[in-house]
Structure 1
Amino acid sequence: MTVDYEEIISGVDLIGNERTNCGGRHILVENMLPSLEELDYEDYFGIHFLDIETTGLSGVNGPLFLIGLLEVGKDGILCSQLLAREPAEESSILLELLSYVRERSCVMTFNGDNFDIPYIEKRMSFCNLSFPEIVSVDLLKPARKRYKDRLASCSLQSLERNILKVPDWNREGDIPGSVIPRVYWEYVNCRNYGLLMPIIKHNIMDLLSTARLWSKFMKP
């Protein structure tokens, strides 16, 4: 089932109306965002930006519960987020991810070589799945090469402020990545969908900033 953000904010009970896909159950949250002036569709053809949220920040023992995928098109920016409402649905969102990456020529991440891709591979192995060979581009590497002498940190939010000039209010109320695992487990225990909204927004902001960073690299 595809749901909008308002349903999650209000805590609508989606149990019983879940999307059935690949033999599992999960929620697909889709949102069509308006095009950003600085993003040229031709620079993004065949590219999916990927960012994940997990229950483990150091190591891969914790389940992965949110996979964000962003695609820039002629009519706007499609953000698709695969949400596991409980750890048992992890295999379902991983199966769904396979259908996305097989249809795209390239996946772009920020720090994906060190975190996202290895984490996905390990969790797929845990679920008896295999991640296909894909073209994966980690934008953290060229960012460090280009900006390490100018910035004290090449974190994504540092690049937002200093290079991409994203207004600070875009991150107003943003949930720190370090508390995301705890908040997800709180949601699992109480089933209050409103707890997930800050995590979903955080994931979208990371995806948009990664897309903006690619646009920056494409310009002479």
Structure 2
Amino acid sequence: MITTTTDIHIPNVRLIAKHYNPADVLFFDIETTGFSPRSSSLYLIGVMYYEHDSWKLRQWLGETESDEPLLLRSFVQFAANYVYLIHFNGDRFDLPYVKAKCNTHNLAFLPDQLNSIDIYLKVKPLKKYLKLAHLNQRSLEEYLETDRTDTASGGDLIPICREFQKSHDPLLCEQLLWHNRDDLKGLPGLFPLLSYLDLINGRFTIIRAELSEETESAFSLIVTASLSVNLPKPISCKLDFGYLTAHDTICKIQIPGCKGTLKYFFRDYKNYYYLPAEDTAMHKSVASFIEKEYRVPAKAATCFQKKSGYFLPQAVELCTPAFKENYSDAVTYFECTKQFLENKESLLAYVQNLI
């Protein structure tokens, strides 16, 4: 087994420190000759860690397939000193693979107190916002325009690994280490993507809300908010109701509203009469005094009262009372009042729900 340890410069050191104590963090990546631990071998494990005020890269490379237990034992013993194990898609591949191999060789696996941090799972909710066809590490690095020197894939390295384990050619050795090194360096390079999570999780401050009159029956609510983090690149995205744009620390959400008359439907319709001439419902305690020919028992679809004003859509009944155009409509609306526009807590809750 070949073990190498070198000092390494990595990007976004401050972003890492914002989320984790660097001394507690171990970045981790493996290289294998296939996806199944039953029919392939583990030939390289690489880690990055912070020690003596600098970042270091350590790699364990198997010179033959028989070195696999040595790689595993060295890595597990080393990782036991850390609190966080950071990786990309490791919850689905790297960690189950290592665990299966530890079981095969009757070796102890990683301790339970070691917290797994999968960057892929963290950024997965960003797919529609970043408008990427794939969320693999290479695609995300290209999106962020990071500086990657290695162009090979894991599959490209399999024949190189097999040839190296036969010939022990130092040039082939360097190719294997180089790819793993770039994968590891790329992990902290993805940390700026976590800034988008503040946006989609609604961790921002409302600056202002303005109405934009458009037609006699339509208007838009434009909400401007401030983020506590700087986004790496501008984004724009269509929401279920509205459109979002964000740049640097500012985001804007434009929400289409409607002007006119909507209906509030009472749930306990059996306690109401419907008055056809007035196209409204009235509680039986009052409507019982109206002559019978002017009232009929209300049904769910006719048990309503009307309201005119400015209305905004909502995916769930977050704001009440909730109005509809028709009883069977899935989308409900609430009245956009001056009080609502001036209440930043209500505005924030509404916008968070839309995003």
TM-score band (shorter)?
0.7 to 0.9
The answer to whether structure 1 residue 160 and structure 2 residue 138 are counterparts is no
Task: Report which structure shows greater RCO (CA 8 Å, sep ≥6).
Answer: 1
Tell whether 2:137 aligns with 1:137: no
Matches of 1:64 and 1:139, distance apart in 2: 22
Kindly name which structure, 1 or 2, has the bigger radius of gyration based on alpha carbons. Answer: 2
More helix by proportion, 1 or 2? 1
Alpha-carbon distance in 1 for matches of 2:68, 2:161 = 13
Task: State the alpha-carbon separation in 2 of the partners of residues 35 and 190 from structure 1.
Answer: 32
- Work out the CA distance in 2 between the residues paired with 1:154 and 1:202: 19
The DSSP-based 3-state class of the residue aligned with 1:112 is coil
Alignment deviations for residues 94-131 of structure 1 (CA, whole Å, 9 cap, x no partner): 11111111100010110101110001001111111121
Residue 207, structure 1, aligned to residue 207, structure 2: no
Distance 2:125 2:38 in 1: 28
8 A contact 2:146–2:189 mirrored in 1: no
Counterpart secondary structure, 2:5: strand
Per-residue displacement from partner, 1:36-62 (whole Å, max 9, x unpaired)?
A: 3x2126343301010000111345421
| TM-score, with length taken from structure 2 | 0.50
Residues 162-193 of structure 1 deviation map (CA, whole Å, 9 limit, x = unaligned): 1x3213xx235x22211222211111122212
Distance 1:154 1:71, change over 3 A: same
Aligned match of 2:13: 39
Aligned equivalents of 2:53 and 2:39: distance in 1?
A: 39
In the TM superposition, what whole-angstrom CA distance separates every residue of 1:66-92 from its partner, at most 9, and x where no partner exists? 100011456332010011111111111
Q: How far, CA to CA, are the matches of 1:93 and 1:142 in structure 2?
A: 28
* Equivalences for residues 73-84 of structure 1 within 5 A: 73=51, 75-84=53-62
> Equivalent of 1:93, from 67, 71, 96?
71
Identity %: 25
CA RMSD of aligned residues (A): 2.0
Length, aligned pairs only = 190
- Could you tell me the TM-score, scaled by structure 1's length? 0.79
Select the residue among 42, 46, 50 that pairs with 2:28.
50
Letter in 1 for 2:187: T
Pair 1:186-2:160 in alignment: no
Summarize the Cα distance change of 1:205–1:76 in structure 2 as closer, same or farther, 3 Å threshold. same
Distance in 2 between residues matched to 1:215 and 1:141, nearest whole Å:
15
Query: Residue 126 of structure 2 aligns to which amino acid in structure 1?
Result: R
User: CA 1:60 to 1:32, structure 2 compared with 1: closer, same or farther past 3 Å?
Assistant: farther
**Partner SS state of residue 188, structure 2:** helix
Question: Which runs of 5 or more residues in structure 1 are unaligned?
Answer: 1-25
Work out whether 1:151 is the aligned partner of 2:125: no
In the alignment, what sits opposite 1:171? 149
Distance 2:54 2:122 in 1: 26
Taking the aligned partners of 1:148 and 1:120, their CA distance within structure 2 comes to 32
**Cα distance change on mapping 1:215 and 1:69 into 2, 3 Å:** farther
Listed one character per residue, the Cα deviations across residues 130-183 of structure 1 (whole Å, up to 9, x for unaligned) are: 213231111101111123442111110111011x3213xx235x2221122221
Code of the residue aligned with 2:55 in structure 1: it is I
SS of 1:30's partner is strand
Structure 2 match to 1:105 = 83
Residues 57 and 136 of structure 1: CA distance in aligned 2, closer, same or farther (over 3 Å): same
Could you tell me which residue of structure 2 aligns to residue 14 of structure 1? none
1:30 corresponds to: 5
More strand by share: 2
Question: What SS class does the counterpart of residue 47 from structure 2 fall into?
Answer: strand
